[in-house]
Structures are given as C-alpha cells and as structure tokens.
Amino acid sequence: MPEIIKLPHPALEGSISLEDVVQRRRSVRSFTDESLGELEISQLLWAAQGISDPRGYRTAPSAGALYPLEVYVITERGVYHYIVERHALELSREGDLRREVYAAGLQQESLLEAPITVVITAVYERIAVKYGRDRGPRYVHMEAGHAAQNVLLQAVALGLGAVPIGAFEDARLQSILHLPPDHQPLYLIPVGHPN
C-alpha cells in the first residue's frame, strides 16, 4: 500500500495583497538549503489544483471542468502524486531523484538546489472527449499556464521563490518519475527559499 500523507488545510487568507504578490513575482533560480514544511507544500499544491468550491471546482479554471492536469511534487524523500479530492500526497517513487531530474532538465541548477519541484502533467484524453484532439490540447496548455501562475504567485505570498521550467527531456523525465504513460509532463517548477 503506497504511503499517503494527508496535507494540512490550506489557509484562505494571507498577509499580502494580490497586487503586492503580482508586483513581486520574479523567477528565482537560486535557493538556500532550507527545506519546506507540509504547510507550505499544502498551500502550493492547493494553489495549483486544489478544490476551492463545494461543487468540486478547482483553483485554476478548466475547460468544461474536465481537469486534465495531474500534479506531482519531487522532494528529497521521493516523488509524490497530489490527490486533489483528499488534499493528500501519495508516494509514487521513493528516493532523492533530484540529480536525475536535473540531468533530464538540461542541467538547470535550480532543479538541484530547490527543496521541492512541482511537476504539472497533462492527461490529454480527458479533454479530447469533449473538445477533440485538435482543439483540446490548446485548453490543456491554457490550464497548465493558469496552474503554474497560481504556484508562482502562491510562492511569493509565502515568502518563497520559484521558476517555471519547460525545457527538459520529456520521455526521460517521465521514466525517472515513473509517471503513468498518459501523464505527459508540461512544467517543472522548483520552489524554495530564495538565496
């Protein structure tokens, strides 16, 4: 049975305005070695794809509310899949894979330095059933951008730094993380305390 970690409830109020967060958002590529706690990870994942409405709607808009994204987080302990409905993490691969992810990520230092990396993946079939194989991917990519921006803004609100990365070897990364074949990686977002 895979390890399940129930995450703390996300805070619904912060100490900084949205305008301040947007003003301060910059790509941060260098991090201290300070780790992130469960509260911070909880808040970041909730911002990416958490449930924000009793009807099941999420923090990022989704065409037809089909939710084609799956989110993972890489830590020094392993790779965890974010289970949206339970606001929990499920261990999908044990061990510190950051050096391997760094290699698959074209040796971008932030992937080595960050205590966590949020991985946004797409399950294109979920959207293709309604919007087709031509139009569907456009909506998936829009949603991935919304989710990534939520993570970036939430990082700033928590006093953290982050950088969105789209340059990596897709198949190699999918293999390293043991992603299901239909979970296509779109974004890597290293997050940590700015150096």
- Provide mean pLDDT across the span 49-56: 96
Classified as helix, coil or strand, 174 is helix
Residue 8 resides in a domain: no
Residue 44 resides in a domain: yes
Closest CA to 136 of 194, 68, 78, 71: 68
Classified as helix, coil or strand, 74 is strand
Give me the number of domains the chain comprises: 1
CATH number, domain of 65, equals 3.40.109.10
Q: Where are the alpha helices (DSSP H) in 66-124?
A: 98-104, 110-113
Count of alpha carbons within 13 Å of 88, Cβ hemisphere only?
10
- Provide mean pLDDT across the span 155-184: 97
Residue 4 resides in a domain: no
Residue 160 resides in a domain: yes
Closest CA to 40 of 1, 7, 89: 7
Which strand ranges, in their side-by-side order, compose the sheet holding 78-83?
A: 4-6, 88-94, 78-83, 69-74, 116-122, 184-192, 161-162
150 touches 60 (CB < 8 A):
yes
Closest CA to 75 of 101, 103, 49, 50: 101
Residue 20 resides in a domain: no
What pLDDT band is residue 70 in, cutting at 50, 70 and 90? very high
pTM score? 0.96
Domain extent at residue 76: 31-192
Which helix (H) or strand (E) is 132 found in, with range? helix 125-157
The 10s digit of each residue's pLDDT in 165-175 is 999 999 999 99
The 10s digit of each residue's pLDDT in 87-96 is 999 999 999 9
* pLDDT recorded at residue 192: 98
Compute φ and ψ for 68, nearest 5 degrees. Answer: -80, 0
Residue 136 resides in a domain: yes
* pLDDT recorded at residue 3: 84
Residue 11 resides in a domain: no
Q: Give CA–CA dist 78/97, Å, rounded.
A: 7
Residue 18 resides in a domain: no
Q: Using the structure block, give the residue that is written with the tokens 């703390």.
A: 8
Q: Give CA–CA dist 130/97, Å, rounded.
A: 36
- Provide mean pLDDT across the span 151-161: 98
